[in-house]
């Protein structure tokens, strides 16, 4: 009897531990509902991003092929050349925060970004010729050139190849030549192999998901130590997340990112550059642009180098100082704020 009772209890215990079909269906429906909510939010955010890049731009046929661009403001012309993961929108945002009012901002999307296709020759020299072709179409004889990150490569080439078209050159966190560029690229690929795969695949949902579940991963990926962001002001923190969001939709930018992912292996003829030049960087930039800025500043005659100890690739916490340094530099070379 006792054995039979024990067996009965054990059987009942096992029966009660098994979820019913209804319970499994409830779990499944709950997961499906959660996924539907997540996907709805993702789709809404992507629509906002796509709407943003569809407004306020033109595509012009130039001697170098079709180029997407946008123009904002009035005053001294500034060609603002965006970095990796960008487009005309990033170019406008960069210049707006670094310059302030009193300038006409001309912001192209570089090769492979948004509405500008990938030509056969994607070199920095070819991109520089595309910049000149755009200025020709817009009737701009001379402009201040503001290059950021990977955009500094074609900015340098433009000043070297067409010095008469560049009134002043500003290179911010320059992703330009350093003697150990290839080794740096190998190390970065090892550190961020998974994220690089997502970026190169144009994985919109994966980027969006990381933004929400692992923001520190993307903060590091765009070159900023996360502790710098945590200690920044609310406005500065929001600017970092705005930059992360601005890379969406990733699928519209990854062709350009693939081009920019190639390291610069040939030293430009910096000693030949006669254009007034300002370089700005931070020692803790995770893209390690300080050595490139130092290398260029040592070889460009009369170049001014501004270095912050911390701030990462976006120079977090130094917005006002960066704007002040740039405007002072332009005033010194006779290109300060001018309203038309």
- 82 vs 281: CA distance, rounded Å: 16
Residue 152 · residue 172 · CB < 8 Å: yes
At 152, give phi and psi (nearest 5°): -70, -20
Q: Give the mean pLDDT of 28-37.
A: 70
User: What pTM does this model have?
Assistant: 0.87
Is a pLDDT exceeding 50 seen at residue 334? yes
300 belongs to a structural domain? yes
C-alpha span between 4 and 2 (Å, rounded): 5
Extract the runs of DSSP E, i.e. beta strands, from the chain.
58-62, 65-72, 76-81, 103-108, 143-148, 166-172, 277-282, 304-308
Examine the pLDDT at 315 and tell me if it is beyond 80: yes
Please report the pLDDT score of residue 252 as a whole number. 94
On the question of pLDDT at 198 being above 90, the answer is: no
Residue 219 has pLDDT above 60, yes or no: yes
Residue 34 falls inside a structural domain: no
Find residue 43's DSSP bridge partners: none
- Of the pLDDT bands very low, low, confident and very high (cuts 50, 70, 90), residue 6 is very low
End-to-end Cα spacing for the chain = 103
How does residue 1 score in pLDDT terms, banded at 50, 70 and 90? Answer: very low
**pLDDT for 38:** 82
Look at residue 155 and tell me whether its pLDDT is greater than 80: yes
Q: Flag whether 61 is in a domain.
A: yes
Residue 65 has pLDDT above 80, yes or no: yes
| Dihedral, CA of residue 169, residue 172, residue 178 and residue 184, to nearest 10 | -160
Average pLDDT taken over every residue of the chain: 89
pLDDT score of 262: 87
What's the number of domains the chain is made of? 1
Phi, psi of 169 (to 5 degrees): -125, 125
pLDDT for the residue 335: 87
User: Do the beta carbons of residue 291 and residue 281 sit within 8 Å?
Assistant: no
117 with 65: CB under 8 angstroms? yes
pLDDT at 285: 95
pLDDT at 2 over 50: no
pLDDT higher than threshold 50 for residue 251: yes
Strand, helix or coil for residue 222: coil
Q: What is the mean pLDDT of residues 192-214?
A: 83
The pLDDT-based confidence of 185 (bands split at 50, 70, 90) is low
Is 7's pLDDT higher than 70?
no
Query: Distance between CA 20 and CA 18 in Å, rounded?
Result: 6
Residue 267 belongs to what domain range?
57-340
Q: What is the mean pLDDT of residues 284-300?
A: 95
| DSSP classification of residue 328 | H
Q: Is residue 120 part of a domain?
A: yes
Establish if 215 belongs to a structural domain. Answer: yes
Cα-only R_g, the chain: 25
Q: Answer yes or no: is 50 within a domain.
A: no
Asked if residue 299 is part of any domain, the answer here is: yes
In a domain, 46, yes or no: no
For the domain that residue 189 is a member of, what is the CATH number? 3.40.50.1820
């Amino acid at each position: 009897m006792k054995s039979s009772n024990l067996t009965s209890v054990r059987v009942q215990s096992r029966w009660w531990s098994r979820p019913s079909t209804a319970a499994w269906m409830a779990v499944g429906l709950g997961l499906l509902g959660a996924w539907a909510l997540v996907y709805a939010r993702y789709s809404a955010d992507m629509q906002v991003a796509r709407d943003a890049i569809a407004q306020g731009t033109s595509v012009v046929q130039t001697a170098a092929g079709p180029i997407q661009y946008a123009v904002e403001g009035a005053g001294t012309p500034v060609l603002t050349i965006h970095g990796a993961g960008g487009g005309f929108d990033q170019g406008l945002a960069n210049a707006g925060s670094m310059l302030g009012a009193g300038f006409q901002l001309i912001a192209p999307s570089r090769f492979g970004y948004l509405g500008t296709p990938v030509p056969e020759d994607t070199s920095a020299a070819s991109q520089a010729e595309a910049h000149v072709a755009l200025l020709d179409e817009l009737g701009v004889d001379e402009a201040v050139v503001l290059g950021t990150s990977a955009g500094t490569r074609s900015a340098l080439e433009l000043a070297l190849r067409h010095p008469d078209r560049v009134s002043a050159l500003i290179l911010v966190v320059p992703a330009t030549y350093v003697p150990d560029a290839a080794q740096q690229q190998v190390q970065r690929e090892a550190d961020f192999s998974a994220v690089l795969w997502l970026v190169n695949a144009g994985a919109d949902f994966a980027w969006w998901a990381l933004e929400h579940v692992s923001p520190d991963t993307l903060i590091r990926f765009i070159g900023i130590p996360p502790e710098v962001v945590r200690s920044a002001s609310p406005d500065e923190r929001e600017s970092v997340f705005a930059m992360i969001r601005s890379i969406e939709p990733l699928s519209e930018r990854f062709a350009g990112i693939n081009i920019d992912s190639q390291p610069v292996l040939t030293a430009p003829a910096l000693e030949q550059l006669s254009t007034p030049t300002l370089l700005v960087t931070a020692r803790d930039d995770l893209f390690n642009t300080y050595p490139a800025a130092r290398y260029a500043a040592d070889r460009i005659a009369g170049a001014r180098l501004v270095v912050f100890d911390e701030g990462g690739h976006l120079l977090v916490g130094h917005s006002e100082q960066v704007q002040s340094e740039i405007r002072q530099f332009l005033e010194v070379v006779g290109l300060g704020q001018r309203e038309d």
